[in-house]
Amino acid sequence: MDFLAVFSFLGFTLLVAIIAWYATRTTNEKSSDGYFLGGRSLTAGVIAGSLLLTNLSTEQIVGLNGSAYKDGLSVMAWETLAAMAMVVTAVFLLPRYLKGGLTTVPQFLADRFDVTTKTITSALFLTGYVVVLLPVILYSGSVAISGMFDVPGMFNISESAALVYCIWGIGIIGSIYAVFGGLKAVAVSDSINAIGLIIGGLLIPIFGLMAIGDGSVTQGLDVLMTANPERFDSTGEKGQEVPFVTIFTGMMLVQLFYWGTNQQIIQRALGAKNLAEGQKGLLLAAFLKILGPIILVLPGMIAYYYFEGGLASSDLAYPELVRAVLPKTLVGFFAAVLFGAILSSFNSVLNSSVTLFGIDIYKQHINKEASEATVVKYGKIFGICLALAAMFIAPFIANAGSLFNYLQEINGIYSIPIFTIIVVGYLTKRVPAIAAKIGIFLGSALYIISQFIMKPHFVGKSLEEAKNAGITDPAQLTLVEADAYPHYLHVMAILFMMNCIIMLVIGKFYPRKEAFELRYTEQVDISPYKYVKQGGIAVVLIVVAIYVYFAK
């Protein structure tokens, strides 16, 4: 790694930190709104940038490009359908969140059902964050940074030691942003890094296409599409990560949970200065998300052609392409951008965890008389403990396999049950609290039984029979595995419908005594953005058009 690369990396990273400090120096971090929601002052541009950067990190950039290397364009569903989910959030969910003056999504569940339901939900979120999401972000980010800067060679240490040092370095810096800066520091740094990520992210497919097109981007794209036209099919097949039919089952449920109810994401919109700014921020992010496959899918497809499908692992597609095509003078800048994306996801999840603990657990159950300053203080202490736990757990993620797919599948333990009770809670007025508790526990338990007990049994049995029959081709074995058990996205859809029915039946026979009414807390103005429906329709039509155009 040359001096220029190191200098550009440090320069861009310090610039982001200085701007974030300057922009947040007058924010009152001692109040709950000031610390957890940036004083309810976030505007559309900041919300959109923070939403995108919170979503983008190395497990997304490396993982989804790895999926594209393996399956082609069909994995773009993770990006394009996210835009449609953001439209639903802007039109349906956000007006209700801001009307109720929410700081956390589980707060609504306390009003709609009871405090116990809220606490269970917050605990599920926190468990998922500390056991799965935070360690995966730290691990995948550390692998990328260690590789780009050749940390083992630079310090003459083993790869495992370098990984641990990078994990702790990223964890400590991210904790400073999230724990001591609050949401506004996170959101401002996210917005700056968003600009760098868009520039840096676009450079990789540009240089990649130039590399395979004799210096021409258009010629490179023509070569790519001509060589493997079947890989430009928007409709995934059985055995692939995103079979087309899953788009109409669990895929949209996952997207709606993530963009509409997941605390780490929706907290940005909850900090909006008013409903109109929040809706504009979500719509702007939705339009930008449609362009996501250029950064998150196209490089993986270029890598498949460039390396002739010969990489040892699909997750190597993105880092190997970067190493092969990016000019050395830009490595430092790109490493800084990637570092910003890693920090963004880590500190955003950590900040959301601090919020959930401070508002939903400490204030609710530990010290009901606590002042806002005390809530923030103990929230910060919890955040430090959470960050330390994640840093200790992260090295053990090394054998998790495909990180992106692993994350999506394991998150189903809590994502669909939580999404179910929120949807039923808003769409009905008399379903009681006991129904929500049954929905959460039953949904989580059945998903765990399905994916981690029943699925290994059926898949293992089918693969053993196939191998005994003499089938050794990996592609054929993949199809055997796909036929042996329903795709996890289908399982999510089945459990969602089943839980909804169970909750509605309970509500029919044991309704709550008084119908629930959502009260307006007057925290912010809830006049909607006048073009929210037109903007939402435009996003949906563009996504449908993309699918139709690339459908084979």
Question: Whole domain around residue 50: which residue ranges?
Answer: 3-22+30-411+524-550
pLDDT tens digits, 212-251: 999 999 999 999 999 989 999 999 888 888 999 999 999 9
In a domain, 355, yes or no: yes
Which pLDDT belongs to residue 36? Answer: 46
Number of folded domains that form the chain? 1
Q: Where residue 529 sits, what CATH number does that domain have? A: 1.20.1730.10
Residue 446 lies in a domain: no
How long is the chain? 552
**465 is a domain residue:** no
| 235 and 551 Cβ atoms separated by less than 8 Å | yes
**What is the model's pLDDT at position 3?**
66
Identify residue 351 by its one-letter amino acid code: N
Q: Is residue 301 part of a domain?
A: yes
Residue 117 carries which side chain, given as an amino acid letter? T
Angle (CA) 235 241 245, round 5°: 45
Question: Are the C-beta atoms of 492 and 411 separated by less than 8 Å?
Answer: no
pLDDT of residue 81: 94
| Any domain includes 390 | yes
Q: Which of 487, 455, 492 is nearest to 242 (CA)?
A: 487
340-394 tens-digit pLDDT? 777 777 777 777 777 778 877 888 888 888 887 787 778 778 888 888 988 998 8
The Cβ of residue 25 has, within 10 Å, a number of other Cβ atoms equal to 8
> Is the residue at 245 inside a domain?
yes
414: nearest Cα among 266, 246, 264, 262: 262
Q: What is the pLDDT along the chain (552 residues), one digit of tens a residue?
A: 456 667 777 777 777 767 766 766 665 545 555 444 545 667 888 888 878 877 777 778 888 898 899 999 999 999 999 999 999 999 999 999 999 888 778 888 988 999 999 899 888 888 888 878 888 888 878 877 777 777 788 788 887 888 889 889 888 877 776 565 554 556 666 667 767 777 888 899 999 999 999 999 999 999 999 998 999 999 988 888 899 999 999 999 999 999 999 877 887 788 888 999 999 999 999 999 998 899 999 999 999 999 998 887 787 788 788 888 988 778 777 877 787 777 777 777 777 777 778 877 888 888 888 887 787 778 778 888 888 988 998 887 766 555 566 677 788 888 899 999 999 999 999 999 999 999 999 999 999 999 989 999 998 898 888 888 888 887 788 888 888 899 999 999 999 999 999 999 999 999 999 999 988 888 888 999 999 999 999 999 999 999 999 987
| Inside any domain, residue 371 | yes
Residues 223 and 218: their CA atoms lie apart, in Å, by 9
Tell me what pLDDT residue 434 has: 96
CA 453 from centre of chain: 26
| First CA to last CA distance, the chain | 44
Residue 471: inside a domain, yes or no? no
For tokens 């103990």, name the residue.
378
